Structure 1
Amino acid sequence: MSLDSYTTLGNSGLRVSPFSLGTMTFGEGWGWGSSVADSEAILARYIERGGNFIDTANVYTNGHSEKILGDYVAGRSELRDRLVIATKFFCNLHPGDPNGGGASRKAIIAQAEQSLRRLKTDYIDLYWLHNFDKYTPVEETMRALDDLVTSGKVRYIGFSDIPAWATAQAHTIAQFRGWAPLIAIQLNYSLLERTPEGELIPMAERLGMGVTPWSPLAGGALSGKYTREDAGKADADRGWMVSGYLAEKTFDIVDELRGIASELDTTPAAVALAWVQNRPGVTSTIIGARRLTQLEDNLKALDLRLTPEQVAALDALSTPTLNFPANVNAGAPNLMHAGATVNGEPTTPIDFAQ
């Protein structure tokens, strides 16, 4: 597989690369990002390899990430229509302004205009709601997004980090009213965060939404840099975003990743990314890099094919605890078809006397 092995995103005709380039690391305003020169080198290499799907947000490095991307593309006008540029709204970049963020009509339109200026473009390919706004009626949010699509300033819309019930509600309302539908969701998904398998991913599969995982390496915790042997010695670039993962479960998974990487002559990071990208429902995995070498390392995952035994070993070490009702529904097929064959697979008889 390569970056130009494009696939459609959800129930749409939008074609995107199997790996999306995340740009949260673009800019040094947060203390651990890439310089402008390094960011442009990463962009250039990703595009050279055939990548077309670039993900940013208004809040990333306080707007600098969008500006770096905008300056780069503006200087290469032939690129714009070849790229799928996605950005997010919600976070307030204007302290003291109660309407500076969120998902109200006023906030959405203002944030879109600000992002368009920083990106130096007249349209956004995919506009994500970044977080859940419990204070704004969902009809107001979806109608404002539909207006942006109708005006041509936005092509498609999606939700990031929103509960499954709220996403389904918004999508259903949009469908019934003939507004622009949600074509994708963005979520935190990795070998260390598999709880989206409970509701979010099944919802996306049923409703025709693409799934674009972020932090597939858990902020770097699964990169292979942090091992049991080096516990407490390696400093995490992102501090608490990584250190909170560095526990025995992580080290067990990293040990398995290292073993598989040795078998396949690759890196633990590539193995972890290959696992995510080949999960049911996943369309395009968001990869990040602060250095060009990290991007090259991550792209190795495109050529990996994990064996069923390798996948099973990783699955066993990372099995999530799914809360109600996922834990109950997991046994529903057996209760409904006890002892029968469903979709060619036998079910287990239920002994109600136990």
Structure 2
Amino acid sequence: MSETRIGTIELGRTGEQVSSVALGAMQMGNATGEAESVRILNRYRDLGGSFLDTADCYEWWTKPGSRGGESEELLGRWMRANGNRDEIFLATKGSAMPEYSPDLWNADGTANWDLARRTFAGAGADTLRRALDGSLRRLGTDHVDLYYVHVDDRVTPLEETCEALAGLVTAGKVRYLGWSNVRTWRLERIRQLCDRYGWLAPVAVQQQHSYLRRRAGLSTASIVDDEQLDYLAEHRDLSLVAYSPIVKGVYDDPARRAEHWMMESYAGPDADARIEAVTGLATELGVTPNQLVLSWLMHQSEPPVLPLIGPRTPEQFENLVPALGIKLDAGQLARLDEAGA
């Protein structure tokens, strides 16, 4: 029996068909070494995938003194070795590299995230131009297919950022634009500015999104909420690219759910009820909860969801492959959708 291959989905309303599951390269070149990264990339390509996602800042936080770029450099080497740049839909991001300081790392070598978030490079015009040029150099290409503002910059005037991004498109260095970790009202303001001045508007928004819903009272620009889902369902020229779609694999592992810091954003009665629902249905279908959640995301239509997976090992990648073949009927989808507290 042949494996189910990765399908395609339209990027916004561009007419561009991209892989229905994107592969995140954040850990490649650091937690995931060169050989394992290449195995994952080759396997993803073998299954028909071509949408790769990285960022200039990946992963500065892994070792003191790093300025990131390891992921982009690895992807550049892989594309050169395979001569396949023209077959890849390549996305990268800028604005989230913090200003260098030895204080970015604590005495034990871990990252000082409080300082990092206060010193992000931001989305000023000159900053973005320099960041993109650095990304292109590391990736070994003259353009990227999709360029995101990685962390929404509330200090730099949006007019400056949008005009600079439009200039990168005009220069042929970027084909499409996106925004990440951004609130809905900011998306609307961005779209209005682009419409007013004739600048290319974003066609993708990359947000944290999974089957679990953020806990009540949490204020964050990164996790999709009901308002953002409603906005994206109405504005289909924006694709939702969902990062952390399986929340670091917590659906399969109660111990991991109990200890992982990411659960702070979800923990509560609603999450408990959703976990129970997905675990029960997964058992009935003979699949893992992680696989079922990934399939559920791919079944969404209001709005459509493009999951961005980021396996650390080839084994983690293989554990997700069966999700491509899971078919959920209307009753099963309703059962999952209606679960919650």
Q: TM-score range by the shorter chain?
A: 0.7 to 0.9
CA distance in 1, matches of 2:267, 2:321: 24
Q: CA deviation at 1:86?
A: 0.4
CA distance in 1, matches of 2:318, 2:250: 18
Trace 1:5-24 onto structure 2 (pairs within 5 A). 5-24=7-26
Q: CA deviation at 1:22?
A: 1.2
Deviation string 1:109-133 (CA, Å, 9 cap, x unpaired) is: 0110111111111111100111111
> Match for residue 308 of structure 2?
286
- Which residue, 153, 157, 160 being the options, matches 1:133? 153
Paired amino acid for 1:49: L
Contact conserved, 1:86 with 1:125, CA < 8 A, in 2? yes
Instruction: Show structure 1 runs of 5+ residues with no match.
Output: 320-354
Deviation string 1:115-168 (CA, Å, 9 cap, x unpaired) is: 111111111110011111111111110110011001111110011111111111
> Match for residue 336 of structure 2?
314
CA distance in 1, matches of 2:147, 2:340: 32
> Match for residue 35 of structure 1?
33
Deviation string 1:249-304 (CA, Å, 9 cap, x unpaired) is: 54543333232122222211110111122222124211111111211221211211
Deviation string 1:154-195 (CA, Å, 9 cap, x unpaired) is: 110011111111111111211221111111111111122367
- Which residue, 233, 245, 253 being the options, matches 1:205? 233
> Match for residue 250 of structure 2?
221
Trace 1:241-320 onto structure 2 (pairs within 5 A). 241-242=262-263, 245=266, 249-279=270-300, 280-318=302-340
Q: CA deviation at 1:247?
A: 5.6
Paired amino acid for 1:212: V
Q: Taking structure 1 as reference, are residues 26 and 251 closer, same or farther at Cα in structure 2, changes over 3 Å only?
A: farther
SS at match of 2:153: coil
> Match for residue 158 of structure 1?
178
Paired amino acid for 1:90: S
CA distance in 1, matches of 2:285, 2:33: 33
SS at match of 2:254: coil
Q: CA deviation at 1:4?
A: 4.4
Q: CA deviation at 1:306?
A: 1.8
Contact conserved, 1:131 with 1:160, CA < 8 A, in 2? yes
> Match for residue 104 of structure 2?
none
Instruction: Show structure 2 runs of 5+ residues with no match.
Output: 60-67, 102-115, 215-222
SS at match of 1:221: helix
> Match for residue 340 of structure 1?
none
TM-score for the superposition, normalised by structure 2? 0.82
Q: CA deviation at 1:200?
A: 1.8
- Percent of matched pairs sharing the same residue: 32
Aligned residues: 306
Q: Which has the larger radius of gyration?
A: 1
Contact conserved, 1:116 with 1:122, CA < 8 A, in 2? yes
Q: CA deviation at 1:310?
A: 2.5
Q: Taking structure 1 as reference, are residues 231 and 106 closer, same or farther at Cα in structure 2, changes over 3 Å only?
A: closer
Q: CA deviation at 1:226?
A: 2.2
- Which residue, 172, 194, 213 being the options, matches 1:193? 213
Q: Taking structure 1 as reference, are residues 186 and 244 closer, same or farther at Cα in structure 2, changes over 3 Å only?
A: closer
Q: CA deviation at 1:3?
A: 4.5
Contact conserved, 1:252 with 1:317, CA < 8 A, in 2? yes
